[in-house]
Chains A and B, each alone.
Chain A
Amino acid sequence: MLSKISRYWCCQICGWGMFALINIFFAYTYDKTISEKLIIRLLIALSLGIPITHILRNVIIKRNWLVLPIEKIVPRLFICIIIASFIYSLSLLTFFELFNLSETDPKKKVAFINKLVLRTFDSSLILMVWVLIYYVYHFFQKNKKQEVDTFRLQSLVKELELKTIKSHINPHFIFNSLNSIRALVDENPQRARRAITELSNILRSSMQTEKMETVPLEQELNIVRDYLALEQMRFEERLKVQFNIDEDTLCQPIPPMMLQTLAENAIKHGISKQVNGGVVTIISDFVDGHHEIIIRNSGFLNGRAGHMGFGLQSTQDRLNLLFGTKATFEIKDIPGNMVEAKVIMPVNNR
């Protein structure tokens, strides 16, 4: 901020210094002398010009004129410049009269009003140059910032994409499942065959759904059923699963892999941490004109309520993107050593 301010003042001083130098230069070439009067006049002009342009800048910033479209700025600025130059000229000439610094020959009496009009016209040209420089500078600044912002946004999108793809299927889960399947090949070939089907269903749908915005609940539930069946194969009697689904909600749209992420969360942070395992319950119903999905699991939040992990955070973000403020997501401890994740979404009547 400090460097920005000082850069502005740097330009201010350089600009007005230039103005003074040009004046001196012309006076010197015409009159061959630099009178004391001229120096004093210039000093007064500078000490009036700098505050007036500074006020002009404050007006531009306060009213946010930097972001207005050009057809709206031009008339406003024009009026502003006329008013500013009038005030500037009026005060300047008043000073000149008071201290008897008038530049014109005292013998040729010119009416004050004429001088004022001339001076106003004169100084409005100077102010226009000032405003032009001010706007050009900001135009380039804005362009540069936009470029940086776009670049940053692009990398953020990439990162998010990568993270979501990764978060969809946990490699840890795949390897554990494969290990269990290998054990089952001898022990229970039927179950092993079924497990391979379930695993390939999950892998396939996780690849397909990435491109879609929403999927019907039914499709997502199929994945989750397969997923939980595989986890049951691993955890055996330690994992119990309950579904409580209102059939009318089956065609409701939900973000793909959302339910899957929440189910994985329930296993990873809930069941797998309990020596004696527990229950995962999945509920889908219409409540108060909303579509409500609840995932309950045995366990505790353990202070995780404050900062969500990536899975929960992405669930929240995706709901916001799809439904805006019409959807809510919360996760909390409930009585009976359970954790409950609740998603409320608007009903789609199509």
Chain B
Amino acid sequence: MTKRAIIIDDERLARSELKKLLQDHPEIEVIAEAANANEGIEKIGNMAPDLIFLDIQMPGKTGFDLLTELDRLPQVIFTTAYDEYALKAFEVNALDYLLKPVEPRRLADALHKLEYIEEKEALGTSLSPQTVNRGILGENDQVFVKDGERCWFVKLNEIRLFESVGNYAKVFFSTHKPLILKSLNALEERLDEKVFFRANRKHIVNLRMIERVEPYFNGGLLLEIKGGEKIEVSRRQAVKFKEMMSL
């Protein structure tokens, strides 16, 4: 199966060099190029590529900024002239990164790794085609989160809680709680309601992460989540919750 890829880099020569290197990999089809972040965001939105090659330093917005604006993340391979140490400062757990000038063997390795991960995920879950079409994020889908200098790719099934903070949402996963610029309502629309439950006005909870359920005032419920957070479920939502959980 060929993968459709977009190359995003502000230097034409860098893009053409990468394209030339990719000629040795017929499984990758370069469907478009973008010379800056905004152009990249637009093309990703229109063409929904499987993979992007992304430069980090670009005029206007950086590659990281681009990722934070995407709703659905394709697979990402960073290309940069930064050294590895400089990259580590960002703490990005990216799929892979290639240092420019790109060594052909490193490119082959990165593409291999991509295939391997894909196979593993295909075995683990069966995504129903409808969810893909409706634009709803599956459990294995990733979101890109940037908090100041630090960045993460987070799988949805690692997230236990979203909390609304003004126009932002606080994302709880492992020991981190960064903010993303998305409203809770917008998130709710894109999340799978079988997994993510709107407990109240301020919280969306990952149902797989609930440790305990206790009755609460006024016919509400109190959910204890794996990280230790306690979330109140409003009365109206408690009815829905019980409905969902009962056989």
Contacts and interface: CB of A to CB of B under 8 A. Distances in A.
Given A186-B20, A234-B13, A178 B59 contact: no
B101 A235 contact: no
Contacts of B57: 272
A172 B82 contact: yes
Contacts of A234: 11, 13
A183 B13 CA distance: 6
Interface in A174-188: 175-176, 178-180, 182-184, 186-187
A110 interface: no
Contacts of B17: 179-180, 182-183
A277 B181 CA distance: 29
A236 B9 CA distance: 13
A286 B72 CA distance: 59
Interface in B1-52: 11-14, 16-17, 20, 36, 38
Interface residues of B, number: 19
A267 to B, nearest CB: 11
B88 to A, nearest CB: 16
Interface of B: 11-14, 16-17, 20, 36, 38, 57, 59-60, 81-83, 99-102
Interface in A254-299: 272-275, 277
Contact of A179 (B14, B36, B59, B82): B14
Interface in A145-188: 171-172, 175-176, 178-180, 182-184, 186-187
Nearest to A233: B13
Interface string A227-238: 000000111100
A168 B81 CA distance: 17
A235 B99 contact: no
A182 B101 CA distance: 8
Contact of B101 (A179, A186, A272, A274): A179
B81 A176 contact: yes
B100 A187 contact: no
Contacts of A235: 11
A274 B59 contact: yes
Nearest to A277: B59
A171 B16 CA distance: 22
